[in-house]
Amino acid sequence: MSTNNFPRLRFNFGFLLESSLGTSRVIELDYPTIQVSEDVTLTPLQGRLTATRTSEGVYVNGRFQSAILTECVRCLDETLVPIDIEMDELFYYPPETMPQNEDAFAFDGETGFIDLGPLMRELSLLALPTQPLCRPDCLGLCMECGQNLNEGDCNCQDDDIDPRMAKLRSLLE
């Protein structure tokens, strides 16, 4: 596990271990922007988190609205892509009961804290479309000169283009 450089999604749920089964705690998350890991910043992060004591540990679920800054696949501009994050995770307690499965999380009863940062990072990357676009009709870059066509036409269209090259280009687009 990496060291905790982004502790803002760390919550103390230790008291749940002493509580009766079914006890829950609701936390409203409302961050204008929050960095959850080295490579992921969510802008904003809003939603409701529920942590519930179950016989297997602490079950955490929630639904969050967010957006993530990423590169448009066509024009390569940085763009804020909206995402919906659904969290639905069991933190096993005692930790020894955790299945031998790399996707499983254990609840650290010693500190009583759950760090949702790594999970939030994973879920937000999964929620991100594989082909993020700055806008549905992004015109992309000119394949000849690299001009961002959203910002205006380049002069390449006026050039005499070998018709076979033009055909190839339309196939590539």
143 near Zn ion, judged by CB under 5 A = no
Please, what is the minimum distance in Å from the beta carbon of residue 154 to Zn ion?
Answer: 3
Q: Which is nearer to Zn ion, 126 or 161 (CB)?
A: 161
Q: Are 30 and 44 in contact (CB under 8 A)?
A: yes
154 near Zn ion, judged by CB under 5 A = yes
Q: Which is nearer to Zn ion, 102 or 158 (CB)?
A: 158
x-or-dash pattern for Zn ion, window 71-100, by CB under 5 A? -x-xx-------------------------
x-or-dash pattern for Zn ion, window 21-60, by CB under 5 A? ----------------------------------------
144 near Zn ion, judged by CB under 5 A = yes
Site of interaction with Zn ion (CB under 5 A): 72, 74-75, 134, 138, 142, 144-145, 147, 154, 156
